[in-house]
Structure 1
Amino acid sequence: MRKILVVGAGQSGLQLALGLQSHGYEITLMSNRTADEIRCGRVMSTQCMFHTALQHERDLQLGFWESQAPRVEGLGVSVAAPDSSRPVDWVGMLDGIAQSVDQRVKMAGWMETFAQRGGQLVIHGAAVSDLDYFSRAYDLVLVSAGKGELVAMFARDASRSPYTVPQRALSVAYVHGLGPRPEHPEFDAVRCNLVPGVGELFVMPTLTFTGRADILFWEGVPGGPLDVFQGIKDPADHLSLTLELMERYTPWEYARATKVELTDANATLAGRYTPTVRHPIGRLPGGGLVLGVADVVVANDPVTGQGSNSASKCAASYLDSIVSHGDREFDEAWMQATFDRHWESARHATKWTNAMLAPPPEHVLDMFGAACRLQPVADRFANGFDDPSDFENFFYDAAKTEAYLAAVCEGTA
C-alpha cells in the first residue's frame, strides 16, 4: 500500500486526503488545529462553490451539507455611479446551482470523517524540518498549507505573477437577518456590487453552524475609503463599519441589512495578500521533493470567488494523476507534469481574476451594460464563474466582445 502525507486541512488537502483514502492509499493528514479548534475558531473564507467544484465533492460522496445549504441559482452584477445610483443592475442564471458552506463547518466535518474512516490524523504545525524527516517515510508528500515557512519552499513564478503587492484590502462579516434582494425574492443569488475606483461588495448566502446566513464581503482598493478594517479588533465595530460603508456606497444592499447581526463572536475577518503563482516543486534540505497543492502554488485574489473552486479542481486533478500513476515513482518529472495538467485549468481563473483587479476596459463596461437588456449575456457571464475558460471567447478582446454582443442581438449566438 502506497503511503502519502498530506500537509494542510483545507478544501484541497482534505478533499485530496479523503479521495486518496477512498482509493485505498495509506494517508497521513497533518493539521495545525483539531476539528473542534477549527469549528470554534474564526471564519476562514468567503467560499461559494459552483457546479463543477461541487460535483467533485459529490463524486467522493462528500456533499454532506447539500440539502441544508442555500441553493444559489443566480449571480448578479450591480455597478454604482458617483451619486450611488445603479446604472447597471442585472442577474444571470446559473446552469447548475452553487452553494456555500462555512469552512469551519466543512473542514471540521471532513477531518472527523477522515479519522473515522481510518486515516492517520496528526495535529502538529509542520515545519520544513518536519517534512525533511517525514519525506523519507512516504512515497509522496503534498503541501496544501498556504501560509508560513512551508510556502517559502515554492519560488514565485514571475512570468505568471504580475502583481508584487496586494491589490485589495479584504473584510468579511457573516450575518443573520439579511433580507432578500427585492428584484428576485424567490431565489438566492450571489450579488457582486462594483464601485469603480473604490472596490467591490459581495453578498452571498451561506450555511454556518447556526443555520442559514449571509456573507458581507468588502474588497477595497488599498489606500482607498474601504481600506479601513486593519487593526479593528471588536467584531461589533467591524460590522458597524461594514454597514456604514454599505450605506454610503451600496445603499440598495444596505436597505436589506438594517437588522443584521453577526452569526457568532468569530464571524469577522480582515486582511490582504498578494496574488501569486509559484513553482510547484519544493526542495527539502535533505534532498527530498514535495509537491505544492492549490493556493500554495496558485493563490488568486478572492475578487472572482475562485479560491475554493480552484482548490477543489486541483484536488480532483491531482487525485486522478496520482491514481493513474500506479506504482511508479513520484519523481520530479511526474510532479511537474501533474501541476502542468492542473495549470491548464487554473490559468483561466488566474487570468480572469487578475483582469478583474484592474479597472474594467470600455468593452467590458459595454458588455455589463448590455447584460441589463440581454439575458443570454448575463447568463453567460454568471456561468463563467464555474468555467472561467469561456471568458477567452468573449471577455478579454474588444473585437470578440463586440462580435458576441452583435450575435446575441441578431439571435445567432
Structure 2
Amino acid sequence: MRKILIVGAGQSGLQLALGLQSHGYEVTLMSNRTADEIRSGRVMSTQCMFDTALGHERDLGLNFWESQAPRIEGLGVSVAGPESARLIDWVGKLDGYAQSVDQRVKMAGWMETFVQRGGQLVIHGAAVGDLDYFAGRYDLVLVAAGKGELVSMFGRDAARSPYAEPQRALAVAYVHGLGPRPEHPDFDAVRCNIVPGVGELFVMPTLTLGGRADILFWEGIPGGPVDAFQGVKDPSEHLALTLELMEKFLPWEYARATRVELTDAGGTLAGRYAPTVRNPIGRLPGGGLVLGVADVVVANDPITGQGSNSASKCAAAYLAAIVEHGDRPFDEEWMRSAFDRYWKTAEPVTKWTNAMLAPPPEHVLNLLGAAGQLQPVADRFANGFDDPADFEDFFFDPEKASAYLASVAGA
C-alpha cells in the first residue's frame, strides 16, 4: 500500500485525500485546524461550483449537500452607467446547475468522513522543516495549503504571472434576508454587477451553517471607492459598508438587500492577493521533492469564480495521474507531468481571469451588450464559467467575437 501525505484540508486537499482513500492508498492528511474549529471559524471563500466540478464530487460520492444547497440555474451580468442606471442587464441559463456550499460546512464534513473511513488526520500547522522530516517516510508529499510559509517553496512563474500586485480588494458578507430579483423571481442565479472604474459586486445563493443564505462579494479596484474594508474588524460595520456601497453604485441590488443581516459572527471576510502561477515542484532542504496542489501553484483572482472549480479539477487530475502511475516512483518527471495535466484546464482559466481584471476592450463590451438581445450569447457566456476553454473561440479575439455575433444574429 502506497503512503501519501497531503498538507492542507481545503477543497483540493480533502477531495484528493478522499479519492485516494477510495482507491486503497494509505493517506495522512495534515490540517492546521480541527473540523470543529473550521465550523466555528470565519468564512473562507465565495465558492460557486459549476457542473463539471460538481461532477468530480459526485464521482467520489462526496455530494453530501446537493439536495439542500440552492440550485443555481443562471448567471446574470449587469453593467452600471451614469447616475447608477443599468446599461446592460441579462441572465444566461446554465446547461447544468451550479451550487455553493459554505466551505466551513463542506470541509468540516469531509474531514470527519475522511477520519471515519480510516484516514489519519494530523492537526498541525506544517513548516518546511516538518516536510523535510516526512519526505522520506512517504511515497509522495502534496502541498495543498495555499497560504503561509509552505507556499514560498514554490517559485513564481513570471512568464505565466502578468500581475505582480493585487488587482482587486476583496470583501465578502454572508447574509440572510436578501429578496429575489424581481425580473427572475422563479430561479436562482449568480449576479455579476460591473461598475466600470470601480469594481464588481457578485451576489450568489449559498448553503451555510444556518441553511439557505446569499453571499455579497465586492471586488474593488485598488485605491478606488470600494477599496474601503482594510482595518474594518467589526462584522456589522463590514456589512454596513457593503450595503452603503451597494446603495451608491448598484441601487437595483441594494433594493433587495434592505432587510439583510449577517448569517453569523464569522460571516465576513476581507483581503487581497496578487494572482500568481508558481513552479509546481518544491525542493526541500534535504533534497526531497513535494508537489503543489491547486491554488498553491495556480492562484487566480476570484473575479471569475473559478477557485473551488479549479481546486476540484486539480484534485481530479492528480488523482487520475497517481492511480495510473501504479507502483513506480513519484519522481520529478512524474510531478511535472501531473501538473501539466492540470494546467490543460488551468491555463484557459488563468487567461480568462487575467483578461477580466483589465478594463474590457470594445469587442467584449459588444459581446456583453449583445447578450441582452441574443439569448444564445447570454447562455454561452454563462456556460463559459463551467468550461472556460470555450472563451478561446469567441471572447479574446475581436474578429472571432464579431464573426460569432454575426452567426447568432443571422441564425
Q: Distance in 2 between matches of 1:256 and 1:370?
A: 27
User: What residue number does 1:85 align with?
Assistant: 85
Give runs of aligned pairs for residues 223-234 of structure 1, distance below 5 A: 223-234=223-234
User: What residue number does 1:138 align with?
Assistant: 138
Q: Deviations over 1:2-42 (max 9, x none)?
A: 00000000000000000000000000000000000000000
Q: Distance in 2 between matches of 1:281 and 1:19?
A: 22
User: What residue number does 1:38 align with?
Assistant: 38
Matching of residue 409 in structure 1 with residue 403 in structure 2: no
CA shift for structure 1 position 219: 0.1
The AA in structure 2 aligned to 1:173 is: A
Q: Distance in 1 between matches of 2:391 and 2:362?
A: 16
The AA in structure 2 aligned to 1:384 is: G
The AA in structure 2 aligned to 1:316 is: A
Q: Distance in 1 between matches of 2:14 and 2:81?
A: 43
Give runs of aligned pairs for residues 243-322 of structure 1, distance below 5 A: 243-322=243-322
Q: Distance in 1 between matches of 2:367 and 2:331?
A: 46
User: What residue number does 2:118 align with?
Assistant: 118
Matching of residue 366 in structure 1 with residue 362 in structure 2: no
Q: Distance in 1 between matches of 2:183 and 2:74?
A: 12
User: What residue number does 2:379 align with?
Assistant: 379
The AA in structure 1 aligned to 2:236 is: A
User: What residue number does 1:99 align with?
Assistant: 99
Q: Which runs of 5+ in 1 are unaligned?
A: none
Q: Distance in 1 between matches of 2:189 and 2:96?
A: 12
Q: Which runs of 5+ in 2 are unaligned?
A: none
Give runs of aligned pairs for residues 349-360 of structure 1, distance below 5 A: 349-360=349-360
**What's the secondary structure of 1:28's corresponding residue?**
strand
Give runs of aligned pairs for residues 197-208 of structure 1, distance below 5 A: 197-208=197-208
**What's the secondary structure of 1:141's corresponding residue?**
strand
Q: Deviations over 1:284-312 (max 9, x none)?
A: 00000000000000000000000000000
**What's the secondary structure of 2:330's corresponding residue?**
coil
User: What residue number does 2:67 align with?
Assistant: 67
Percent of pairs identical after alignment? 81
The AA in structure 1 aligned to 2:407 is: A
Pairwise CA RMSD of aligned residues?
0.3
Q: Distance in 2 between matches of 1:342 and 1:9?
A: 19
Q: Deviations over 1:78-102 (max 9, x none)?
A: 0000210001000000000000000
Q: Distance in 2 between matches of 1:67 and 1:118?
A: 26
The AA in structure 2 aligned to 1:102 is: D
**What's the secondary structure of 1:65's corresponding residue?**
coil
Q: Deviations over 1:139-166 (max 9, x none)?
A: 0000000011100000000000000000
Q: Distance in 2 between matches of 1:46 and 1:182?
A: 24
TM-score (norm: length of structure 1): 0.99
**What's the secondary structure of 2:322's corresponding residue?**
helix
Number of residue-to-residue matches in the alignment: 411
Q: Deviations over 1:373-410 (max 9, x none)?
A: 10000000000000000000000000000000000011
CA shift for structure 1 position 277: 0.0
Q: Distance in 2 between matches of 1:164 and 1:291?
A: 23
Q: Distance in 2 between matches of 1:359 and 1:352?
A: 13
Q: Deviations over 1:349-376 (max 9, x none)?
A: 0000000000000000001110001000
The AA in structure 1 aligned to 2:340 is: D
Q: Distance in 1 between matches of 2:308 and 2:266?
A: 20
Q: Deviations over 1:260-296 (max 9, x none)?
A: 0000001000000000000000000000000000000
User: What residue number does 2:174 align with?
Assistant: 174
Q: Distance in 1 between matches of 2:320 and 2:355?
A: 30
Q: Deviations over 1:300-335 (max 9, x none)?
A: 000000000000000000000000000000000000
Q: Distance in 1 between matches of 2:266 and 2:285?
A: 38
**What's the secondary structure of 1:137's corresponding residue?**
coil
Q: Distance in 1 between matches of 2:334 and 2:238?
A: 46
The AA in structure 2 aligned to 1:152 is: S
**What's the secondary structure of 1:49's corresponding residue?**
coil
Q: Distance in 2 between matches of 1:37 and 1:82?
A: 46
**What's the secondary structure of 1:83's corresponding residue?**
helix
User: What residue number does 1:157 align with?
Assistant: 157
Q: Distance in 2 between matches of 1:287 and 1:241?
A: 49
**What's the secondary structure of 2:189's corresponding residue?**
strand
Q: Distance in 2 between matches of 1:82 and 1:346?
A: 36
User: What residue number does 1:333 align with?
Assistant: 333
